[in-house]
């Protein structure tokens, strides 16, 4: 294998910079190929820095033009300028001003980091290390500076000029040029810098803060798309209000702007006062966006807005602390959605996401702690572990401390660290102090990778009226960490009595317990519940109170009982999932033996009861009917996985349920249709989800007339949610009407990139081996472009991560194809290439034949001589 490039950065090596940058004056003269950047930094040595210590600024592929010190040209003897660094050899004492001119080519920037162009709009992306591609800087999050930015360009091409903070000056210049100056009074790290310039339209609104200040709100988009921004604006205003009510956080500038761009590596970016969004998370109207899109927009808008306090006002000391802003902000956006919509539905969806993305990451070669100890490429650490597991840790704190305790800790955090770059230790200390709780062992959750397994075995003793629970915890070894200490695991519980109600517990022995939460803190603990006069069914880990795998000795009868009675909606749903999973695992084994396994009629009946229980909200019922995904079964089987057998087991079970419940599903479908105007509210969203689910079961069950029903649903749909649901049912079940419907769809939405992304994805996910040929053909379709990350994710990403049958083709053609795309994409956009490569992350769990083929492809990628640091880091960890 090729030797690894790039040095390893370690948390233990952290030390502050020798110099502070107090203010930054940036001047950008915009030009497609030769944008001139002049940056003037006012610098001073920090206390304790020896006089004359050289100052080295970071750069990345920069073209140096000139340098001045305190307004006078520097002699070439005084500095060294390379594309990757600028060193001032002998800085003066006291405060000094360094001015550096560089030049950059936005149009040639295909990596979309630094200053690039998206459909003609100039746009920056600086997190985590993109600022150094614009100018030389101490490009790290603990250097906080006040920025003043001047943008200049031809008015006809860039009528709109935006940057962080408040606008302070604008004017006309000769030759049709104009300029604008922005000032951001809040000191910030370079990764939060942003500038946008182009021919953009906008919608505007205002928000009056709790203390009565009026804030100007604007969303900028390509002209003609303004009508699709209203949901985003509505979501923004609700987010602003929520943060005031729930966390006492007010917005702090006179203006808050969002810009939507069509070329973006990630979802969105929280630059101070000027969020930049992937247009997928802004644009929505009923004909082109689904309920899922509307919900996604609402939560990403909220997430980025919430970063204003958790990320911008209080930032991270170094990138190891990334979860400080991301985990916390994900927790905050999850809470927002729970308050705005349905708490149980949100919790179930989040846990599904966690298990689908974070659990496999934590169980494979890319496993890393929520706060890693070292990295080679920080871009590869924007992961499900940092974000989603990071949010789970914050949730565990909230569970342990209760609403008031948690809020007191947050208040102290905001008060104490406002304007600072903080650490996880700082964060935890606020909760410990505010609530007088010892939280030292919580750090283990940040430092230890791997998903703990908790086992629970129980017994009831009639004589002493006691119920005994034996709990153990065990965290598997992960790369670089073989030994694990026991962690504090909050287990929310209930003991469900024979009548289905939770039983009263007199006293608990053997574990710290507060109300309905036990704290498991040792490797092994025996917990005794007193005053239990009948055998209960334990309902453990209610609300998924900790990110662990629970192995309890609950049998089928217990699970059916919980599914019927548990007062905790999460565990009711989870009982159905566990029953389905047990069946799918056994059925997969049977299929590999050439056998079959019929579904348990009791289970199907229990599903029917939930599906038709009108006391439950439709969105919840839809979730209960949804079987575990193929990837979930994969993860549970864990070794020697045969993806084809898993796929067959799941299709078979779905068909059995569909045909057994055909009548019920048909009634359900009929009662759920509604011809009122479209609105993405939780109630009607849930109704559409349940209707789609019923339709899908009808089709999967091969019910007479189901295909026609789905075709009619597609043809007569008056919104994208219904249209796409019907199309998906036709396509995934490979029905003859799928092809003409796909053609109709393409005609309807030709030229609408986001709608066509759905069309690409859907075809990429059709579970059959020759889908690969289709994906290859679609790469030549005008709707596809390898240069645009959304298109790559829609077609190639969906195939690699959303089509187990296609990607894991027994002949390895799926692996070969993805490896080729990675090799092609890597020189252009390493971040997108590296993410695609991560689709292989569970390759070691595959059965031997596929495992060998996958390894060969990974080795082929690893041997490429000029692989980016992003991809080489991923591939070497994956093979390591």
Smallest separation (angstroms) from Zn ion to the CB of 333 = 8
Considering only 27, 31, 58, 127, the residue that binds ligand PHE (CB under 6 A) is: 127
**Nearest 5°: phi and psi at 203?**
-110, 150
Q: Which stretch binds ligand PHE (CB under 6 A): 268-276, 369-377, 644-652, 820-828?
A: 268-276
Listed ranges 320-328, 418-426, 731-739, 752-760: which one lies at the site for Zn ion (CB under 5 A):
320-328
Nearer to ligand PHE, 269 or 772 (CB): 269
For residue 68, give the nearest of 78, 56, 57 by alpha carbon: 78
Buried b (16+ CB within 10 A) or exposed e, 148-172: bbbbbbebebbebbbbbbeeeeeee
Q: Which region, judged by CB under 5 A, interacts with Zn ion, from 172-180, 318-326, 736-744, 771-779?
A: 318-326
Residue 642 touching ligand PHE (CB under 6 A): no
Nearer Cβ to ligand PHE, position 272 or 542? 272
Residue 125 binding ligand PHE, by CB under 6 A: yes
Please give the helix or strand (H or E) that residue 460 lies within, else none.
Answer: strand 453-461
Shortest Å, Cβ 257 to ligand PHE: 16
Checking 500-504 for CB contacts under 8 A at 24+ apart, the result is 500/561, 500/564, 500/565, 501/567, 502/567, 503/532, 503/533, 503/534, 503/536, 504/531
722 binding partner (options ligand PHE, Zn ion, none; Cβ < 5 to 8 Å by kind): none
Interacting residues with ligand PHE between 703 and 722 (CB under 6 A): none
Q: Which of 303, 417, 650, 723 binds ligand PHE (CB under 6 A)?
A: 303
- Which range touches ligand PHE (CB under 6 A), out of 242-250, 262-270, 434-442, 822-830? 262-270
Q: Which of the residues 364 through 403 are near ligand PHE (CB under 6 A)?
A: 382
Beta-bridged to residue 29, according to DSSP, are 36, 152
Considering the candidates 304, 392, 630, 656, report the single residue annotated as catalytic. 304
Structure tokens at 333: 């956006």
Encoding tokens for residue 140?
Answer: 């790290």
522 Cβ contact partners less than 8 Å away, ≥ 6 residues apart: 473, 486
In sequence order, the β-bridge partners of residue 517 are 492, 514
Nearer to Zn ion, 390 or 569 (CB): 390
Which C-beta is closer to ligand PHE: that of 361 or that of 608?
Answer: 361
**Minimum separation from the CB atom of position 239 to ligand PHE (A):** 13
Interaction pattern, residues 803-832, with Zn ion; x per rule: CB under 5 A: ------------------------------
- Chain residue at closest Cβ approach to ligand PHE: 266
Question: Considering the complex, what minimum distance in angstroms separates the CB of residue 304 from Zn ion?
Answer: 7
CB of 328 to ligand PHE, least distance (A): 11
CA distance 878 to 841: 7
Q: Is the CB of 294 or the CB of 382 nearer to ligand PHE?
A: 382
CA angle in degrees (0–180, nearest 5) for 568-617-548: 35
Measured distance CA(158)–CA(139) in Å, rounded: 28
- 326 contacts ligand PHE (rule: CB under 6 A): yes
Q: Is residue 266 at the binding interface for ligand PHE, with CB under 6 A as the rule?
A: yes
- Provide, rounded to whole angstroms, the least separation between the CB of residue 125 and ligand PHE: 6
CB of 303 to ligand PHE, least distance (A): 6
**Residue (of 488, 494, 496, 493) closest to 547 by Cα position:** 488
Cα–Cα distance measured from residue 445 to residue 490, given in angstroms and rounded to the nearest whole number: 12
Q: For ligand PHE, which is the closer residue by CB, 240 or 732?
A: 240
Write down the residue that tokens 């790039």 correspond to: 6
Q: 304 an active-site residue?
A: yes
482: CB partners within 8 A, 6+ apart? none
State both tokens at 405.
């305790």
288 belongs to the binding site for ligand PHE (CB under 6 A): no
Per CB under 6 A, which region of 74-82, 265-273, 284-292, 685-693 contacts ligand PHE? Answer: 265-273
| Cβ-based neighbours of 691, under 8 Å, separated by 6 or more | 668, 669, 672, 673, 722, 725
Of 266 and 581, the one with the shorter C-beta distance to ligand PHE is 266
Describe the strand order of the beta sheet including 96-104 as a list of residue ranges: 72-73, 63-69, 96-104, 35-45, 19-29, 145-154, 177-188, 166-172
Stretch that binds ligand PHE, among 303-311, 409-417, 443-451, 722-730 (CB under 6 A): 303-311
Closest CA to 40 of 59, 16, 23: 23
Q: Which does 125 bind (CB under 5 to 8 A by kind): ligand PHE, Zn ion, none?
A: ligand PHE
Q: How far is C-alpha 668 from the chain's CA centre?
A: 33
- Per-residue interface string for the shown chain with Zn ion, residues 328-367, x marking contact by CB under 5 A: -x--------------------------------------
Residue 310 or residue 876: which is nearer to ligand PHE going by CB?
310
Give the whole-angstrom CA distance, residue 615 versus residue 624: 14
* Residue number, 332 or 355, with CB nearest to Zn ion: 332
CA–CA distance, 731 with 746 (Å, rounded to integer):
14
Sign of the alpha-carbon torsion through 720, 725, 729, 734: positive
| Residue 127: contacted member of Zn ion, ligand PHE, none (CB under 5 to 8 Å, by partner type) | ligand PHE
Residues forming contacts to ligand PHE in the complex (CB under 6 A) are 125, 127, 266, 268-270, 303-304, 307, 326, 382
Residues forming contacts to Zn ion in the complex (CB under 5 A) are 326, 329
By annotation, the residues acting in catalysis are 304
């Amino acid at each position: 294998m090729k030797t690894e490039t790039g040095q390893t950065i370690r948390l233990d090596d952290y030390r502050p910079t020798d110099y502070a940058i107090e203010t930054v004056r940036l001047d950008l003269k915009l030009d497609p190929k030769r944008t001139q950047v002049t940056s003037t930094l006012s610098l001073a040595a920090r206390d304790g820095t020896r006089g004359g210590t050289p100052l080295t600024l970071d750069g990345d592929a920069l073209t140096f033009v000139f340098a001045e010190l305190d307004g006078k040209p520097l002699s070439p003897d005084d500095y060294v300028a390379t594309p990757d660094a600028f060193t001032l050899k002998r800085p003066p004492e006291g405060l000094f001003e360094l001015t550096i001119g560089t030049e950059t080519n936005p149009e040639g920037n295909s990596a979309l980091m630094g200053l690039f162009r998206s459909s003609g709009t100039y746009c920056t992306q600086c997190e985590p290390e993109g600022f150094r591609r614009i100018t030389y800087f101490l490009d790290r999050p603990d250097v906080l500076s006040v920025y003043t930015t001047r943008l200049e360009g031809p008015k006809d091409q860039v009528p709109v000029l935006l940057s962080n903070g408040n606008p302070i000056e604008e004017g006309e210049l000769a030759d049709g040029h104009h300029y604008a100056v922005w000032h951001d009074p809040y000191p910030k790290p370079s990764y939060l810098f942003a500038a946008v310039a182009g021919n953009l339209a906008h919608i505007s609104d205002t928000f009056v803060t709790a203390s009565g200040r009026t804030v100007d709100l604007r969303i900028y988009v390509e002209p003609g798309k303004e009508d699709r921004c209203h949901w985003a604006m509505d979501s923004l205003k609700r987010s602003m209000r929520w943060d005031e009510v729930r966390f006492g956080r007010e917005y702090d500038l006179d203006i808050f702007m969002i810009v939507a761009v069509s070329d973006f590596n990630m979802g969105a970016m929280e630059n101070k006062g000027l969020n930049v969004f992937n247009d997928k998370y802004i644009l929505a109207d009923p004909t082109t966006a689904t309920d899922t899109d509307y919900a996604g927009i609402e939560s990403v808008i909220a997430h980025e807005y919430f970063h204003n306090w958790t990320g911008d006002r209080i930032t991270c000391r170094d990138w190891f602390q990334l979860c400080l802003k991301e985990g916390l902000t994900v927790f905050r956006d999850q809470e927002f959605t729970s308050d705005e919509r349905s708490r149980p539905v949100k919790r179930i969806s989040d846990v599904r996401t966690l298990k689908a993305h974070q659990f496999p990451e934590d169980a494979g070669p890319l496993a890393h702690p929520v706060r890693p100890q070292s990295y080679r490429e920080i871009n590869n650490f924007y992961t499900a572990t940092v974000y989603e597991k990071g949010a789970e840790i914050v949730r565990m704190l909230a569970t342990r401390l209760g609403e008031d305790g948690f809020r007191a800790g947050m208040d102290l955090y905001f008060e104490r660290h406002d304007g600072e770059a903080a650490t996880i230790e700082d964060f935890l200390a606020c909760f410990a102090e505010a609530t007088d709780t010892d939280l030292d062992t919580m750090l283990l959750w940040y430092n230890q990778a791997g998903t703990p397994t908790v086992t629970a075995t129980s017994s009831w003793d009639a004589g002493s009226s006691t119920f005994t629970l034996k709990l153990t915890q065990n965290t598997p070894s992960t790369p670089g960490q073989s030994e694990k200490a026991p962690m504090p695991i909050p287990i929310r519980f209930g003991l469900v009595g024979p009548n289905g109600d939770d039983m009263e517990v007199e006293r608990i022995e053997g574990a710290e317990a507060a109300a309905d939460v036990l704290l498991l803190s040792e490797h092994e603990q025996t917990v005794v519940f007193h005053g239990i006069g009948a055998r209960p069914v334990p309902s453990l880990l209610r609300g998924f109170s900790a990110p662990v795998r629970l192995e309890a000795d609950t049998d089928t009868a217990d699970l059916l009982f919980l599914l019927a009675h548990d007062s905790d909606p999460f565990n009711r749903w989870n009982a159905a999932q566990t029953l389905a999973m047990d069946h799918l695992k056994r059925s997969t084994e049977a299929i590999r033996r050439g056998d079959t396994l019929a579904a348990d009629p009791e289970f199907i009946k229990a599903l029917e009861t939930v599906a038709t229980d009108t006391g439950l909200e439709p969105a919840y019922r839809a979730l209960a009917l949804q079987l575990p995904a193929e990837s979930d079964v994969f993860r549970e089987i864990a070794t020697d996985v045969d993806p084809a057998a898993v796929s067959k087991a799941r299709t078979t079970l779905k068909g059995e349920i569909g045909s057994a419940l055909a009548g019920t599903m048909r009634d359900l479908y009929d009662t759920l249709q509604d011809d009122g105007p479209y609105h993405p509210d939780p109630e009607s969203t849930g109704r559409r989800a349940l209707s789609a689910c019923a339709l899908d079961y009808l089709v999967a069950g091969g019910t007479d007339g189901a295909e026609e029903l789905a075709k009619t649903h597609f043809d007569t749909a008056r919104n994208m949610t219904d249209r796409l649901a019907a199309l998906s049912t036709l396509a995934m079940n490979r029905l003859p009407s799928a092809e003409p419907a796909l053609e109709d769809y393409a005609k309807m939405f030709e030229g609408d990139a986001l709608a066509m992304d759905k069309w690409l994805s859907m075809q990429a996910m059709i579970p059959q081996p020759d889908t690969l040929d289709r994906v290859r053909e679609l790469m030549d379709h005008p709707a596809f472009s390898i240069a645009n990350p959304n298109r790559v994710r829609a077609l190639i990403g969906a195939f690699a991560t959303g089509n187990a049958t296609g990607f894991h083709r027994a002949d390895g053609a799926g692996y070969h194809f993805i490896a080729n795309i990675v090799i092609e994409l890597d020189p252009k956009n390493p971040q997108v290439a590296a993410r695609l490569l991560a689709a292989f992350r569970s390759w070691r769990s595959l059965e031997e034949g596929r495992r060998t083929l996958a390894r060969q492809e990974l080795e082929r990628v690893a041997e490429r001589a000029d692989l980016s640091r992003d991809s080489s880091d991923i591939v070497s960890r994956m093979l390591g």
